[in-house]
Amino acid sequence: MMYIVLVTLALVLVSVLVYALSSRIKARHRDEKQYFGEITGQDTVSSIIDQALIQRSKISARFGPGNKAFDCAIYRAEKGEMVLEPPYFVKPTRKWLRRNLECTFRVGLDKSNFLFYTFVSPIIGFEDMQDVRMLRLAYPRSLFLGQKRRHLRLEPPTRWIKGLALWPAAGSGGNDFEPGMGAWGKPVARMGDKKARVPELGLMDISAGGARLRLSREVSSRVEEMREVFPYVFLYIGLDHESRGVERYLLAARIKHSYVQYERDFFSVSLEFVRSGRIKDKKNKQVQWEAVDPAQGVEELGNWVFQRHLKLYRERGTG
């Protein structure tokens, strides 16, 4: 009987340990997935942190997801470490040493546009100053964009947009969009060709998950009619990629919102990407549609937006 009890207890203990270990591994994977857009160049990392220091950006710190965050000020960032000043009600103890602290902050590109960054660094010590115990962190080796891939938006300069066209979507939506481009008809709007008898179309901003378009009054009325009948559109976007020329995207999108902008000079339409297409038969212009992951968006677009954010940062600087 004693042997059976001991074996049972051992099995229970092993089960608990396995469950705890698997939960920790899953939590670690969740943490890794939430970060995107890693910046590893030390010059760029240092430049961004220096700007955060100059702009007196607050750092929201926490010990991983599920833990309450607290705001810190950057007291110093040099010589291989960052020193953060926590609020008065936070009382660090020696149990904090060597624990990873997740830190998020923002840096302004201009007065209205901000980029958010996240890094994870261990607490390597304390620095007591009067009644405040400062946190000494290892200097970040890399930064991640604070936004999720799907939500990181960019307002691209016109020179980066190499093509833009909009069609009423054909098909039943959901799992069925017309693959034959010949059946789409003429675009309801196109950008850049002044001689064409089509109204103005512009790209206001774009992310991996969707885009916002600028439409003339004439096109907007047509889009509103389309929205009532079948709230989907086909969108072609050509974007400049320095190393690979022009990257072309065919997308099926759901019309989410439309509203007047800038004293009724033009209309703005928000789209959510639901399908990404590639031409599998160039001769017959046949498109193969693939579902867009609602959580991640179109991965290639997300990568392009991230790289272009970095380029804008280097061109404009911050301040």
Confidence of residue 239 (pLDDT cuts 50, 70, 90): very high
pLDDT of 31 over the 70 cut: no
pLDDT of 28 over the 60 cut: no
Confidence of residue 21 (pLDDT cuts 50, 70, 90): low
pLDDT of 275 over the 70 cut: yes
pLDDT of 32 over the 80 cut: no
Confidence of residue 316 (pLDDT cuts 50, 70, 90): low
CATH architecture for residues 158-300? Roll (2.30)
Per-residue pLDDT of 72-122, as tens digits, reads: 999 999 888 999 999 988 889 999 999 999 999 988 766 656 778 899 999
The pLDDT of residue 7 is: 73
Same fold, 36-146 and 158-300: yes
Model pTM? Answer: 0.64
pLDDT of 288 over the 70 cut: yes
Q: Where are the domains of the chain?
A: 36-146, 158-300
SS3 41: coil
pLDDT of 27 over the 70 cut: no
The pLDDT of residue 77 is: 92
139-143: long-range contacts, CB 8 A cutoff, minimum separation 24: 139/77, 139/80, 139/81, 139/82, 140/45, 140/49, 140/82, 141/40, 141/42, 141/45, 142/38, 142/39, 142/40, 142/45, 143/38, 143/39, 143/45, 143/48, 143/49, 143/117, 143/118, 143/119
The pLDDT of residue 243 is: 75
User: 101: which 2 tokens?
Assistant: 């602290």
Is 297 in contact with 209 (CB distance < 8 Å)?
A: yes
pLDDT mean across residues, the chain: 82
pLDDT of 294 over the 80 cut: yes
The superfamily CATH assigns to domain 36-146 is: Electron Transport, Fmn-binding Protein; Chain A (2.30.110.10)
Distance of alpha carbon 33 from alpha carbon 148, whole angstroms = 9
Backbone angles phi, psi at 179, to 5 degrees: -85, -20
SS3 144: strand
